Structure 1
Amino acid sequence: MTSEKPFVRVRRKLKEAKNHATSQDKKSLLVEDECNPVHELKEYILSSFGQTADLIMENVKIAENEGMLFYLDSAIDKSQLQQTLLNKHTYQPNSHFDLKTEEGIRNYCEQMFGGAGYKLVQTADEVIKEMLNGSFTIAFKSFPLFICIGMPNSNLRQVTEPTSQTVIRGPKDSFVEASSINLTLIRRRIRNANLRFEEFHIGNETKTQVYIGYMNKIANEKIVEEVRKRLTNINVSAIFESGNIEELIVDKTLTVFPLAFNTERPDTVAGQILEGKICIIVDGTPFALLVPAVFTDFFISSEDYYHHYSISSFLRLIRYISFMIVLIVPSAYVGILTYHAELVPTQLLIKIMAQREGVPFPAVVEVLIMEFTFEILREAGIRMPRAVGQTVSIVGALVIGQAAAEAGLISNLMVIIVAITATANFVAPVYSLSAATRILRLILIPIAGFLGLYGVLLGLVVMVAHLASLRSFGVPYLAPIAPLSIKDQRDVFIRFPYWGMRRRPSYLRTAEPIKQQKTGSNTPPDMQRRNDG
């Protein structure tokens, strides 16, 4: 058996036929090739893909009509191809199929590929696009209309539990890298004809599939149109992850705060779509984007709606308190010890100073050393092999912290502060917010070293002013706190009972502001007296 690629063999045989033909035969052969749609498509595909190893081009004969089969071996499901196309009955002559007309080709497709989702295209560019998306193409010499049938490779990661947003109670499925599966996970939760998905192809080289999803008759059409416009205006060479899309579509503002909410949980996306937000699904990544995003979104977990509202409210307050601990505690420690020691009770101050008696560094340097050491350990734990990463990070933190304290480089209280701060940083349900607080914490620490608690307060005022200036697709980032909306406070710092949250967020200006009809909690029936006697 020869090792030549199929398209090389076809080209060689065609060349030999031309060399052995007579002059009259050559003229007719040239005329036939020039008028042959298969020959023109083959040459265009060869010029587009070159000598790539996964391009397959095979001669076929269907219903007494000659043609060719084109597909990329790496992009299609071969087992499905064999079941659908390579079945013997597909190639059996059928006299009632007239493949020389458009109507005849359509009749053939309806009978042979009726459930396979076929497409009839007329240009070579469309054929190339369909092949790259996992389709195979059948071209006939008799008529310039090409059959494209989508059979993308199904060797994908299966739906598993979320890795970055785990919950105790709630759905355990998460998005995967295939956008078709992600759309299915959302559609399974919202069985409503008003759920819309729109497709875009972004990236001059990658042509990455990007979808936006929203609820028609609920979502604000102006926001939907703004999302469409920003996606359409993207002009880059490649898109590989939703983070690339996030940087390109959010408001151009120098900020460390995330202006788009990212999640790998389908239930979170479905719930936010019903609230009136727009989701962005990018093929090749399990993380979807939700816009517009406001600051309070990053303190809300989907699990809050699966527990009793009292427990959910308590946990949500814990998240807000943890955010303030991460920001303030290390810098407040530096400011108090450096400039405001009189604020500390005398007994506590004596113990703190006794521990710091042999420490050779000032408080600000001590805190920065420990913060950077912990960041190194955390990053090493993430990048190292999973089998040893967690062990190295935990053991490394304990050993280094204890050794540094015994050596007199840092105080024991400093180890406690860094541990509390690091633990509180992981309370945030979304990683992008915890990454922002890490940067802000490192900014506030040297400010506290120069200006004390006044510097910390000044830094917080500047941060709040900066948050108030941010916008996410025209929506104020601090909404519904600033501007204040009383009616939207039922699901911000605390969560009201599920039957009490009737309205969608007013800052989204949805077409349908009422989410559910007015109802109340069930009351127990009147106790009936026992039967007499």
Structure 2
Amino acid sequence: MKLTGQFFKNKNNKTSNSFNEIVENSETDRELSSNVKSNEDALNEIFSSSIDFTVNEIIMAGKKGLVVYLNSMVNAERVYEEVKGTVIQLSSKEDISFSHIQKSYFTDQKSFFVKTYHECVWNILNGAVIVFLDSYKEALAIEVNGFETRSITEPSTQTVIRGPKDGFVESIQTNISLIRRRIKNPRLTFEQFIMGSESRTTVVIASVKGIMNEETLKEIKTRIEQSDVPAILDSGNIEELISDNIYTPFPLIFNSERPDTIAANLMEGKAAILVDGSPFVLLAPCVFSDFFQTAEDYYQPFFMASFLRIIRYISFMIALIMPSLYVAITTYHVGLLPTPLLISIQSQREGVPFPAVIEILIMEFAFEVLREAGVRMPRVVGQTVSIVGALVIGQAAVEAGIVSNVLVIIVAFTAISSFVTPIYKFSIATRILRFVLILGASAMGLYAILLLLVIMVAHLSGLKSFGIPYLTPIAPLSPDNQDDVFIRFPIGANKKRPTYLKPKMENNMAKQGGNKK
């Protein structure tokens, strides 16, 4: 149904006057009326079920006016201080044109004119205060900040011992400022998009002009623009929408709560995707080795950082294959074990009623349940449940003869190794594949483990992140980019940015050195 000519005819038909028709169908959108009462009726009908919609009648220089806003999006006290308290004091002898009011009284706030219901509704939903004045077919939109947001705190999922302690929050403006403080560069750009036909979520792409490859940046923008979903509530929604392959357990887009991590990757030639309402910022493109690096690697001496990074790679392999090796060796390849160790393991398994694969699946499943319970329960008792539950259940299972002592050690060490991975989402892939390897080992022993690992590597080799091979710079091998993969070279030795990102400027920040003011 066309909006023009019918906006006020059928007030019982809520669909015809819905927000979607007014905001989305801008080609049929009506201009504002010069009558304040008509504008008030129209907005009251649009926001008829919204208890936070506020309309205040005012007298401005002898003329009737309105101040309209959502009290859930702005601070009512600041509305009076910055808007209402100003306009109601205007003298009747004063020039009351909107251009005069804007230039004279609202120079400190961002303000602009709106002429249609489309613009009016959109700005109200974004936290602006709209001022109407009788006999004018336009309104003044004034941005008044002040709604409640979470204060900046230390990231909860990516903590460091040495390094900045601030983390992203749910306010996209705050997150942009955290990045700006670290990259004081006019070439750092933030481009805004609106996603979600119903949620109308603000999404911002950050990049550094002159460094970021333009073709890659264009591809990221195209995928975001072509995403058609009703709502975007977190950056995880966008991650799934724009990934090259969703049928893989491995994340193809990096996410972080740390502004320093995002800033460092922007300077390497990547793009950051910020979502209003989410403290997790996405980075694209990314490669396999990115998930073994932390911000603290660059704040510690390079030999210490290299040692810790090697520990992470080893821990990844332990968390992936250690349980399946236990099943394969104790079931099919007992001859690979030294005799004393074999005797010790078999003596502990004496009386256990289950084969090794059932035994380890029981313990792995129990530990996954405890881990999930610890995450979902209140933080005060969550860690206690995870630790005490694992100890109690493990000890009780051993005493009941359901599992052996050595199995409890293997499952516990495997779980600890999986926690070493800096990025939580990457550890999920390890946990899923671990069960696949256990089942394979129960069927064919070490042959199945080797075959499944080959298939996994082949799968990784076929993955891409915005056109960049996922295993770069390992496969295909890039000798020029080995200074920050398995070990970290000294910062002064990092002469170039990663060439696989195809940056427009190859020289790294370290080569440029400090610049005098």
Q: TM-score, normalised to structure 2's length?
A: 0.91
Confirm or deny that 1:246 pairs with 2:239. yes
Equivalence map 1:356-371=2 (5 Å): 356-371=349-364
After TM superposition, give the deviation of residue 152 of structure 1 in Å: 3.7
Equivalent AA in structure 1 for residue 505 of structure 2 = E
The aligned residue for residue 111 of structure 1 is: 104
Residues 443-474 of structure 1: per-residue CA shift (max 9 Å, x gap): 10010000100100001000000000001111
Question: Does structure 2 conserve the Cα–Cα contact (< 8 Å) formed by 1:309 and 1:496?
Answer: yes
Equivalent AA in structure 2 for residue 172 of structure 1 = K
After TM superposition, give the deviation of residue 386 of structure 1 in Å: 1.7
Confirm or deny that 1:215 pairs with 2:213. no
Match of 2:198 among 196, 205, 215: 205
After TM superposition, give the deviation of residue 46 of structure 1 in Å: 2.0
After TM superposition, give the deviation of residue 351 of structure 1 in Å: 0.7
Higher mean displacement: 45-54 or 441-450? 45-54
Q: Secondary structure at 2:216's aligned position in 1?
A: helix
CA distance in 2 between partners of 1:203 and 1:519 (Å): 42
Q: Secondary structure at 1:304's aligned position in 2?
A: helix
CA shift in 2, pair 1:319/1:137, >3 Å: same
The aligned residue for residue 7 of structure 1 is: none
Equivalence map 1:88-487=2 (5 Å): 90-93=88-91, 95-99=93-97, 105-487=98-480
Equivalent AA in structure 1 for residue 113 of structure 2 = L
After TM superposition, give the deviation of residue 83 of structure 1 in Å: 1.3
Q: TM-score, normalised to structure 1's length?
A: 0.88
After TM superposition, give the deviation of residue 516 of structure 1 in Å: 3.5
Confirm or deny that 1:488 pairs with 2:486. no
CA distance in 2 between partners of 1:507 and 1:89 (Å): 57
Q: Secondary structure at 1:147's aligned position in 2?
A: strand
The aligned residue for residue 22 of structure 1 is: none
Q: Which has the larger radius of gyration?
A: 1
CA shift in 2, pair 1:487/1:68, >3 Å: same
CA distance in 1 between partners of 2:370 and 2:33 (Å): 68
CA shift in 2, pair 1:316/1:62, >3 Å: same
CA distance in 2 between partners of 1:277 and 1:427 (Å): 25
Question: Does structure 1 conserve the Cα–Cα contact (< 8 Å) formed by 2:234 and 2:275?
Answer: yes
CA distance in 2 between partners of 1:299 and 1:479 (Å): 14
Percent identity, please.
Answer: 49
After TM superposition, give the deviation of residue 69 of structure 1 in Å: 1.4
After TM superposition, give the deviation of residue 111 of structure 1 in Å: 1.1
Residues 383-426 of structure 1: per-residue CA shift (max 9 Å, x gap): 11222221121111111111111111111000000010000000
Question: Does structure 1 conserve the Cα–Cα contact (< 8 Å) formed by 2:235 and 2:278?
Answer: yes
CA shift in 2, pair 1:518/1:167, >3 Å: closer
CA distance in 1 between partners of 2:379 and 2:510 (Å): 49
CA distance in 1 between partners of 2:214 and 2:90 (Å): 52
Superposition misfits of 4+ residues, deviation over 4 angstroms:
517-520
CA distance in 1 between partners of 2:331 and 2:303 (Å): 41
CA shift in 2, pair 1:284/1:247, >3 Å: same
The aligned residue for residue 82 of structure 2 is: 84
Residues 311-360 of structure 1: per-residue CA shift (max 9 Å, x gap): 00000000000000011110011001111110001111111111111111
After TM superposition, give the deviation of residue 382 of structure 1 in Å: 1.2
Question: Does structure 2 conserve the Cα–Cα contact (< 8 Å) formed by 1:296 and 1:478?
Answer: yes
Question: Does structure 2 conserve the Cα–Cα contact (< 8 Å) formed by 1:74 and 1:153?
Answer: no
Gaps of at least 5 residues in structure 1 are 1-33, 100-104, 521-533
Question: Does structure 2 conserve the Cα–Cα contact (< 8 Å) formed by 1:234 and 1:248?
Answer: yes
After TM superposition, give the deviation of residue 96 of structure 1 in Å: 4.1
CA distance in 2 between partners of 1:314 and 1:517 (Å): 22
Question: Does structure 1 conserve the Cα–Cα contact (< 8 Å) formed by 2:285 and 2:465?
Answer: yes
After TM superposition, give the deviation of residue 234 of structure 1 in Å: 1.2
Match of 1:44 among 42, 45, 54: 42
CA distance in 2 between partners of 1:419 and 1:398 (Å): 10
Confirm or deny that 1:61 pairs with 2:44. no
CA distance in 2 between partners of 1:80 and 1:144 (Å): 26
Equivalent AA in structure 2 for residue 73 of structure 1 = N
CA distance in 1 between partners of 2:408 and 2:499 (Å): 45
The aligned residue for residue 75 of structure 1 is: 73
Residues 273-320 of structure 1: per-residue CA shift (max 9 Å, x gap): 000000000111111100001110000000000000000000000000
After TM superposition, give the deviation of residue 88 of structure 1 in Å: 5.4
CA shift in 2, pair 1:517/1:333, >3 Å: closer
Question: Does structure 2 conserve the Cα–Cα contact (< 8 Å) formed by 1:134 and 1:153?
Answer: no
CA shift in 2, pair 1:35/1:350, >3 Å: closer
Question: Does structure 1 conserve the Cα–Cα contact (< 8 Å) formed by 2:351 and 2:401?
Answer: yes
The aligned residue for residue 19 of structure 1 is: none
CA distance in 2 between partners of 1:77 and 1:193 (Å): 32
After TM superposition, give the deviation of residue 149 of structure 1 in Å: 0.7
Q: Secondary structure at 2:84's aligned position in 1?
A: coil
CA shift in 2, pair 1:35/1:125, >3 Å: closer
Q: Secondary structure at 1:172's aligned position in 2?
A: coil
Question: Does structure 1 conserve the Cα–Cα contact (< 8 Å) formed by 2:72 and 2:147?
Answer: no
Equivalent AA in structure 2 for residue 497 of structure 1 = P
Match of 1:507 among 494, 500, 515: 500
| CA-atom RMSD in angstroms | 1.5
Gaps of at least 5 residues in structure 2 are 1-31
Higher mean displacement: 313-322 or 381-390? 381-390
